[in-house]
């Protein structure tokens, strides 16, 4: 898909750390510019009989906002993260078990859902859960002049007429999940998807470098 020169593929600086919490089986912290999310994974653990699924693991996601109690907005984000994780994990290897993912928002400066997705993926990798592919989140915003901004800050999101978040998988760079807000045309949607797919390569490269750094002591 041709992308016109008006879009900027500039992503904010990434930071990531794995295995930083002592209690969860896997944990990771992901920082995108000023947005920061901390993720913890517990599993495969015991599950209540009422919630168990006979052939797959039961996945639960909880997103804790920085201030206040979780509300409807968090529930919507939890659903997006949960569907993406269930598609990427090989949950049929752990039937009648539960996988719990807890995400704590440390600071929200835009692109929060994609930061949650990235932190979730690194935490699932850190816990050693079997995954079929990796996933990453990319957010695009369209400002009133029609320019495409990737990885917008909170101010850029407020001033834009559409904000879209896509979860992209690592195997075939296809869209696993999309969450959009605002009004946009079909052409703009396809442009955003193409730009997100290009941006996801940078994020996957960053994942690989982080994991390589983590294992560098034992190599």
Partner 1 sequence: MLAGENMLRSFKDEIGHVLLPGDAFLFDLPATDCKPGKVICGPGLRRNGDVILVCKSGILRHKMPNLFWIDAQQRRYVPAKGESVIGIVTGKSVNVFKVDVGGSEQASLSYLAFEGATKRNRPNVQVGDLVHGQFTIANKDMEPELVCVDGGGRASGMGVFGTGGLLFKVSLGLSRRLLAPHSEVVKDLEGLFPFEMVAGMNGRVWVKAQSMQQTVVVASLLESCENMSAPQRKVLFRRAAARGGS
Binding site for partner 1 (CB under 8 A): 19, 25-26, 43-47, 90, 93-98, 125-134, 169-173, 197-198, 201, 204, 207-208, 211-212, 215, 217-219
Question: Measuring CA to CA, which residue among 13, 165, 207, 31 is closest to residue 106?
Answer: 31
Q: Among residues 12 and 94, whose Cβ is nearest to partner 1?
A: 94
Task: Give me the least distance between CB of 71 and partner 1, in Å please.
Answer: 31
What minimum distance in Å lies between the beta carbon of 163 and partner 1?
A: 24
What letter would DSSP give residue 94? S
Choice between 173 and 181, CB closer to partner 1: 173
| Nearest residue (CB) to partner 1, 112 versus 127 | 127
Residue with tokens 């990798």: 125
Nearer to partner 1 (CB atom), residue 70 or residue 130 = 130
Nearest CA-CA partner of 127 in 36, 45, 31: 45
State the helix-helix crossing angle for 112-126 and 186-214, rounded to 10 degrees.
40
Nearest approach, Cβ of residue 24 and partner 1 (Å)? 8
Q: Where are the beta strands (DSSP E) in the chain?
A: 14-18, 26-32, 35-45, 58-64, 98-107, 135-142, 148-150, 162-169, 175-182
Shortest separation between residue 217's beta carbon and partner 1, angstroms? 7
Nearer residue to partner 1 within complex by CB, 155 or 213: 213
Give min distance, CB of 90 to partner 1, in A.
Answer: 6
Between the CA of residue 63 and those of 57, 105, 115, what are the distances in Å? Answer: 19, 7, 12
């Amino acid at each position: 898909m041709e992308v016109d020169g008006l879009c900027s593929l500039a992503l904010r600086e990434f930071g990531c750390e794995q295995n930083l919490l002592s209690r969860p089986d896997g944990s990771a912290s992901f920082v995108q510019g000023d947005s920061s999310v901390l993720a913890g994974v517990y599993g495969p653990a015991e599950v209540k009989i009422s919630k168990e699924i006979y052939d797959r693991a039961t996945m639960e996601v909880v997103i804790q906002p920085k201030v206040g109690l979780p509300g409807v907005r968090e529930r919507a984000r939890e659903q997006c993260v949960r569907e993406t994780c269930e598609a990427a994990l090989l949950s049929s290897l752990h039937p009648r078990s539960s996988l719990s993912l807890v995400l704590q928002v440390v600071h929200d400066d835009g692109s929060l859902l994609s930061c949650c997705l990235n932190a979730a993926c690194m935490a699932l990798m850190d816990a050693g859960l079997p995954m079929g592919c990796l996933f990453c989140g990319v957010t695009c915003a369209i400002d009133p002049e029609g320019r495409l901004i990737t990885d917008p800050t909170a101010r850029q999101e407020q001033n834009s007429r559409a904000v879209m978040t896509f979860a992209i998988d690592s195997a075939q760079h296809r869209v696993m999940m999309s969450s959009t807000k605002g009004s946009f045309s079909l052409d703009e949607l396809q442009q955003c998807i193409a730009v997100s797919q290009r941006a996801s390569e940078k994020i996957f490269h960053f994942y690989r470098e982080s994991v390589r750094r983590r294992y560098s002591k034992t190599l």
